[in-house]
Amino acid sequence: MTAADLRSGSIGADELLRLYEQMAVIRRTEKAAHDLFLAGLVKGTTHLAAGHEAVAVGASAALAPDDYVFATYRGHHHAMARGASPAECLAELMSKATGVCQAKGGSMHLTKASAGMLGSYAIVGAHLPIAAGAAWSAKIRGTGQVAVAFFGDGATNIGAFHEALNIAAVWALPVLFICENNLYMEYTPIGTVTSVANPAADRAPGYGLPAEVIDGNDVVVVADAVGRAVDRARSGQGPTVVEARTYRHFGHSRTDPATYRPADEVREWMRRDPLDIARARLTALGVPAASADSADERAALLVAEAVAAAKAAPGPDPAQAFTDVWADGGSTWRT
């Protein structure tokens, strides 16, 4: 990447510094989740998104506050990019009453409807038709809202992916399909089980949809690409498929040491860390290194306070176990 490339893009220095700090907060929160899990304070598994920060933060920067976001079980970064705090996310992972879902969701189901974060979904590909439905609702109501479905490369081989793209194209829905292609579907290299080189983007033409393959580790590239797709959706031109190439820093889940990944591949991707790319862009824009250092320090303090708050938070009230089951908050079966 040349110096001119680093200075290019629609995001100015002040905004880029803000996005860098947001990515730093997410990175530190993921590290905290890892450490809390190893300490036995996070029950169940976790799927960390360290390395994917630029996709969530860049995409969110291009969205309006009332747009809809749907994510996968690897969705901590999307929840925080849309406004969930590190404290409420970590508390949720630790099954505390102050969690973003009051301890009812856990790591794989972070949801904050008030911020348009309509859930993380553990069933691979299941949320893609739901995102199409949300977009259909917005179109019918004429609100101008856009729905965005984030998914992994493995979901492109699921029937729901193709069904969602088809109906979204037929109805010209204001929905974006953003693939976080980290090269592996759990432990299997996506290229060994897929007939095309770009599992999401190369399928889009079959449904008459535009598609773009982008550098998912560059927050500016992500923001610009998603911004173009959002403009297209809001203007009534329908869906876009964006395939963001990225790489996870941890294994698939906390039980996975990721030893199946070639060492030279890991080294190459670690040299392309999203935070390092953003810092290089800041330098090219004339932002002093001290400003980025200060952002890192603020992020560290925020996450340290979040860890302390989550540890000190009370457990959930058993009396609340049967609330939030139905839309009216009850749990009584209706016929």
Q: Is residue 304 part of a domain?
A: yes
In tens, the pLDDT along 298-330 reads 999 999 999 999 999 999 999 888 888 777 777
| pLDDT greater than 70 at residue 1 | no
Q: Residue 117 — φ and ψ, nearest 5°? A: -85, 95
| pLDDT greater than 60 at residue 332 | yes
pLDDT at 335: 57
Q: Is residue 28 part of a domain?
A: yes
Q: How many domains does the chain have?
A: 1
Q: Is residue 198 part of a domain?
A: yes
DSSP, residue by residue, 255-288: T---TTS-HHHHHHHHTT-HHHHHHHHHHHTT--
Q: Which residue range is the domain that position 190 belongs to?
A: 22-267+297-311
pLDDT at 117: 96
Q: Is residue 93 part of a domain?
A: yes
Max CA pair span of the chain: 65
Q: Residue 282 — φ and ψ, nearest 5°? A: -60, -45
- Looking at per-residue pLDDT, the higher value among 4 and 303 belongs to 303
What percent of the chain has pLDDT above 70?
96
Helix locations, 42-200, DSSP H: 53-61, 76-81, 86-93, 127-141, 159-170
Q: Is residue 141 part of a domain?
A: yes
Element housing 243 (H / E): strand 240-245
pLDDT at 8: 66
Dist CA 194 CA 105 (whole Å)? 32
In tens, the pLDDT along 174-228 reads 999 999 999 999 999 999 999 999 999 999 999 999 999 999 999 999 999 999 9
Which amino acid, one-letter code, is at 275? Answer: L
Distance of CA 44 to the CA centre of its chain: 20
- 172 near 238, Cβ under 8 Å? yes
pTM over 0.85: yes
Q: How many helices (H) and strands (E) does the chain have?
A: 11, 8
Q: Is residue 211 part of a domain?
A: yes
In tens, the pLDDT along 244-296 reads 999 999 989 878 888 999 999 999 999 999 999 999 999 999 999 999 999 99
CATH label of the domain that carries residue 306: 3.40.50.970
Q: Is residue 275 part of a domain?
A: no
Q: Is residue 246 part of a domain?
A: yes
Dist CA 74 CA 97 (whole Å)? 22
In tens, the pLDDT along 88-136 reads 999 999 999 999 999 999 999 999 999 999 999 999 999 999 999 999 9
